[in-house]
A and B are shown apart, each in its own frame.
Chain A
């Protein structure tokens, strides 16, 4: 058993202590298991394939967004670089399109390539009603109905979490990439330490 698989085994042992009942409630409340399609054309289930047992980073975007999306995507690209090999291994990044009608897997693939996105970060589209349900259940909506309908003013927060530990927080997408990375790394239970400075 090498060091990495030992760590993985330890992680499983730790997870057995986690309260499965409350996880089920959280799952039912916030993580509908809808079918989505990745920018690589793969069909996935939101909870089963993307969220369960993972440390995740989730944001909203759409390919022809001219507002804050490019800034947030650029920040997340830098964050992906800083997190290096961990992305796709134990930390996963997801961008949900707000324009599922326009943003086909091919369009999202183009967008990902254009921004230099590396593996481990998936752009997701799906049925408009499923995307809308996800947007609301994940907390990317607001009670201000007018603001909520304005796609150009969509939520610029990035959700991060550790599903196994039921830790869920948000960091602004306009924050510095180093700060976004800091926040994401808090989700690693072996790394609970305050930032320096």
Chain B
């Protein structure tokens, strides 16, 4: 116990020092010119480390920064991006993936349950549900380098893509209609400075058999391919709710991204991510049926947010290979474009907001030109519809990998009105946000909505009528309780003091067991923790019932400093290996991950709460 309190005291001092530094920087409100005068910023835009000052120059061109700040660690001289004019280009909407005609139309041999190693497949394990849930649609995707413009004032970038776009194509699927995606690794010999040409594509939030999940160690090299079988089945189909699964476990906004162990941040930053949407008889994609949510794709729009850095001299994308704390960009992208605009009609829209990382937390507001807020409705957290819509007047916080589906109503605005998606959460470094909400005028305006004069009808449900979506599935007594502490030792990210290795099975969950997991955050750092395969419910956050927005089903849980959250799980239907990891992808790549296996035996809690420390 003595050691703990000693360590706590030391860390508390560190925290106080760090926040004092931050406060000083914020109070000083240095401009770029100030920093240059002080000799802290060179004309090339590099900050010079000095006396523990941790800040980066204010953003240029629109958005404004003022009270916001950027992390800088002195390693390698993280540059400040060149200026770009905001709202020059329309926000792209990723294309919808088109299936091939049938299995015969796939390049290469017919898909099969066993890995087809002889024909160049990188898979090593047999599909669990290939015969019981046979694929009905077949897709082919090629991971290739492509020339992508992220802003007209920056050069074309050589990015890594799924079929040539960033974000990748959107898969649109129905529950009960399994897909097979044949995934080819056709990446080039050169990585252009970062990234690795071996990949593992994870379907984030999928109730997916382990061999198709995109486990970090299931990567495959160039010229290889990998058949990923996505059953698109509701949790409980083979256990608690046969034969179709529990409708209240429906997921809607999923995404896919590279997950290659140690290189996830580099490969995702380079472009390897996209959306995967699931519809069913209630969330139909048509506003005249089911829950009557705005019709896809016209009024139901996926938006992936990323922050990135560009070299001030070449204008090329920079990934800081020397940063292990967390990378913050000073350019904000929506669907691959820096600060785009988006034309909207005078009606309700469903936006599927996804924080694509690598390390920044957002708190998004919709603000008008006069910097007042326009309230909106949160209908889904991590892509899972909440029991009822929640009106927010205080924005919505989204950590890396979290999704928030929102309904924004533009019907009250005259044609020509402009509104903004405005991030007002201050974050100075990779450790996490400061929790300071800057004024609307000081936020990062990442996208401009332009209300058009088009004639419009709106058949979607009005969230103000408090429609009901899915109920939160009932909990049951747990078979097992496990505890996890997320911390840092000697710059090594650890979970319960241990680091990740592919072959290190930390514990085994018995299939169809219910479990309680207690997750505890360490000092000084915040972590969005993602647990693969099954969704959880947040039972308690720091002893309290979670907020309405967190009172649903999730796959990412935000751990603030010293936070303690209690999660309820049921691990059903499939077996195999799955990870739990921090989704600040920099932390993830520096070993803040563990592997657990699901089997029919399980074992009791090796991370027993009572004897953990």
A contact residues vs B (CB 8 Å cutoff): 14, 17-19, 22-23, 25-26, 29-30, 67-68, 136-147, 153-157, 165-176, 178-179, 182-183, 186, 192-197
Bound-complex Cα distance A193 to B122 (A): 8
A169 adjacent to B263 (CB under 8 Å): yes
- What is the chain B residue whose CB lies nearest that of A32? B76
For the complex, would chain B's binding face be called helix, strand, loop or mixed by DSSP majority?
loop
CB distance from B191 to the nearest CB of A (A): 5
CA distance A154 to B499 in the complex (A): 16
- State how many residues of chain B have any CB contact under 8 Å with chain A: 59
B300-317 residues with Cβ-Cβ distance < 8 A to A are: 311, 314
Contacts A22-B190, A139-B324, A146-B18 given; indicate if A175 touches B263 (C-beta within 8 A). Answer: no
Chain A residues, Cβ within 8 Å of B197: 192
Closest 10 CB pairs of A and B: A139-B322, A155-B491, A156-B490, A192-B221, A179-B501, A172-B499, A145-B52, A143-B73, A197-B503, A169-B262
How far, in angstroms, from A154 to B431 measured CA to CA in the complex?
Answer: 17
Taking CB atoms, residues of chain B closer than 8 Å to A179 are 501-504
Binds A, one of B212-220, B272-280, B471-479, B514-522: B212-220
CB pair B191 A165 closer than 8 Å: yes
What chain B residues lie within 8 Å of A138 (beta carbons)?
A: 75, 322
> Could you show 27 A-B contacts with beta carbons less than 8 Å apart?
A18-B189, A22-B190, A22-B193, A29-B321, A136-B49, A137-B75, A138-B322, A139-B324, A143-B429, A144-B18, A144-B524, A145-B21, A153-B491, A155-B324, A165-B191, A166-B191, A171-B262, A172-B499, A172-B500, A172-B590, A174-B490, A175-B501, A175-B591, A176-B501, A194-B218, A195-B217, A197-B503
Point out the residue from A19, A153, A169 that lies within 8 Å of B192, measured CB to CB.
A19
**B296 on the interface (CB 8 Å rule)?**
no
Assuming the contacts A22-B190, A170-B262, asked whether A195 and B499 have C-beta atoms less than 8 A apart, the reply is no
B589 adjacent to A170 (CB under 8 Å)? yes
Q: Does B453 sit within 8 A of A, measured CB to CB?
A: no
Q: Is B298 an interface residue (CB 8 A)?
A: no
Task: Judge whether B492 and A172 touch: CB under 8 Å.
Answer: yes
Within 8 A of A (CB), among B570-594: 589-591
**B133 at the A/B interface (Cβ < 8 Å)?**
no
B325 touches A144 (CB 8 A): yes
Instruction: For B217, list chain A residues within 8 Å (CB).
Output: 194-195
Q: How far does the alpha carbon of A156 sit from the alpha carbon of B491 in the complex, in Å?
A: 6
Let me know if B21 and A136 touch, CB within 8 A.
no
Verify B322–A136 contact, CB threshold 8 A. Answer: yes
CA distance A196 to B218 in the complex (A): 9
Q: Tell whether B170 is near chain A: CB-to-CB under 8 Å.
A: no
Closest chain-B Cβ to A180's Cβ sits at a distance in Å of: 9
Complex CA distance for A166 and B391, rounded to whole angstroms = 48
Q: Which of B18, B76, B222, B501 contacts A145 (CB 8 A)?
A: B18
Q: Kindly state whether residue B417 has any CB partner on chain A within 8 Å.
A: no
The answer to whether residues A146 and B14 also contact, given A139-B75, A175-B501, A175-B591 and a CB cut-off of 8 A, is yes
Q: Are B492 and A157 in contact (CB under 8 A)?
A: yes
Whether B193 contacts A26 by the Cβ 8 Å rule is yes
Contacting pair B589 A196 (CB below 8 A): no
Q: Decide: A17 and B190 in contact? CB cutoff 8 A.
A: yes
Output the nearest chain B residue to A137 by Cβ-Cβ distance.
B76
Closest approach, in angstroms, between the C-beta of A182 and any C-beta of chain B? 7
CB neighbours (8 Å) of B74 from chain A are: 136, 141, 143
Closest to A149 in B: B52
Q: Do A143 and B76 touch across chains, with their CB atoms under 8 A apart?
A: no
**Contacts A137-B75, A166-B191, A172-B591 known; A142 to B491 CB distance under 8 Å?**
yes
The residues in B between 474 and 489 inclusive whose CB is less than 8 angstroms from any CB of A are 489
Binary interface encoding of chain B residues 491-532 relative to chain A, with 1 for a CB under 8 A from any of its CBs, else 0 = 110000001111110000000000000000000100000000
B108 interface residue per 8 A CB criterion: no
| Interface hub of A29, A144, A146, A175 (most chain B Cβ within 10 A) | A144
A186 to B194, CA, bound (A): 15
Which partner residue on chain B sits nearest A195 by CB separation? B502
Contact between A157 and B324, CB atoms less than 8 A apart: yes
Contact B76 A30 (CB under 8 A): yes
Q: State A171–B200 Cα separation when bound (angstroms).
A: 19
Q: In the bound complex, do residue A168 and residue B194 qualify as a contact, i.e. CB atoms below 8 Å apart?
A: yes
Contacts of B491 on A, CB cut-off 8 Å?
Answer: 140, 142, 147, 153-157
CB pair A139–B323 under 8 Å, yes or no, is yes
A145/B589 contact (C-beta < 8 A), A139-B75, A156-B491 known:
no
Residue of A nearest to B322 (CB): A139
CA distance A67 to B72 in the complex (A): 27
Which of chain B's residues 413-467 have a Cβ closer than 8 Å to chain A? Answer: 429-431
Cα A18 to Cα B124 in complex, Å, equals 30
Is the C-beta of B606 less than 8 angstroms from some C-beta in chain A? no
Q: Which residue of B lies closest to A179 (CB)?
A: B501
Check if B17 sits within 8 Å of A145, measured CB to CB.
yes
Q: Residue on B with the closest CB to A15?
A: B189
Contacts of A168 in B (CB 8 A): 194, 321
**Taking the nearest CB of chain A, how far is it from the CB of B555, in angstroms?**
24
Looking at the complex, which one of B218, B490, B502 makes contact with A154 (CB distance below 8 Å)? B490
Nearest Cβ distance between residue B303 and chain A, in whole angstroms?
A: 29
11 new A-B contacts, CB < 8 A, other than A143-B74, A146-B14, are A26-B321, A143-B429, A144-B18, A145-B52, A157-B491, A166-B190, A166-B192, A168-B321, A175-B501, A175-B591, A194-B502
- Complex formed: what's the CA distance from A17 to B188 in Å? 10
The interface residues of chain A lying within 8 Å CB-to-CB of B219 are 192, 194
Give the Cβ gap from B315 to chain A, nearest Cβ, in Å. 12
Nearest-neighbor residue (CB-CB) of A68 within chain B: B490
Instruction: Compute how far the CA of A75 lies from the CA of B498 in the bound complex, rounded to whole angstroms.
Output: 15
Decide if B387 is an interface residue (CB 8 Å cutoff). no
- B590 near A166: Cβ-Cβ < 8 Å: no
Instruction: Give the Cβ gap from A11 to chain B, nearest Cβ, in Å.
Output: 12
Task: State how many angstroms separate the Cβ of A152 from the closest Cβ of chain B.
Answer: 9
A163 CB to nearest B CB, Å: 12
Cα–Cα, bound, A178→B502 (Å): 11
Bound form: Cα–Cα A187–B185 in Å:
18
B23 contacts chain A at the CB level, 8 A cutoff: no
**CB atoms of A19 and B322 under 8 A apart:** no
Within the assembled complex, what's the spacing in Å between the Cα atoms of A168 and B589? 11
Complex partner residue of A141 from B13, B75, B314, CB under 8 angstroms: B75
A-contacting residues, B217-267, CB 8 Å? 217-222, 262-263
- Cβ-closest chain B residue relative to A152: B490
Q: Determine whether the beta carbon of B590 is less than 8 Å from that of A170.
A: yes
Task: Flag if B321 contacts A139 (CB, 8 Å).
Answer: yes
- Report if A29-B524 is in contact (Cβ < 8 Å); known contacts: A153-B490, A168-B194: no
- Assess the B189–A169 pair: CB atoms within 8 A: no
Interface assignment of B95: CB less than 8 Å from any CB of chain A: no
A142 CA to B326 CA in the complex, in Å? 10
Q: Find residues 61-89 in chain B having any chain A CB closer than 8 Å to their own CB.
A: 71-77
Cβ-based interface call for B196 (8 A): yes
Are B124 and A144 neighbours in the complex by a CB distance under 8 Å?
no
Q: Is B335 an interface residue (CB 8 A)?
A: no
User: How far, in whole Å, are A30 and B221 apart by their CA atoms in the complex?
Assistant: 26
B195 vs chain A, min Cβ distance (A): 8
CB-nearest residue of chain B relative to A154? B490
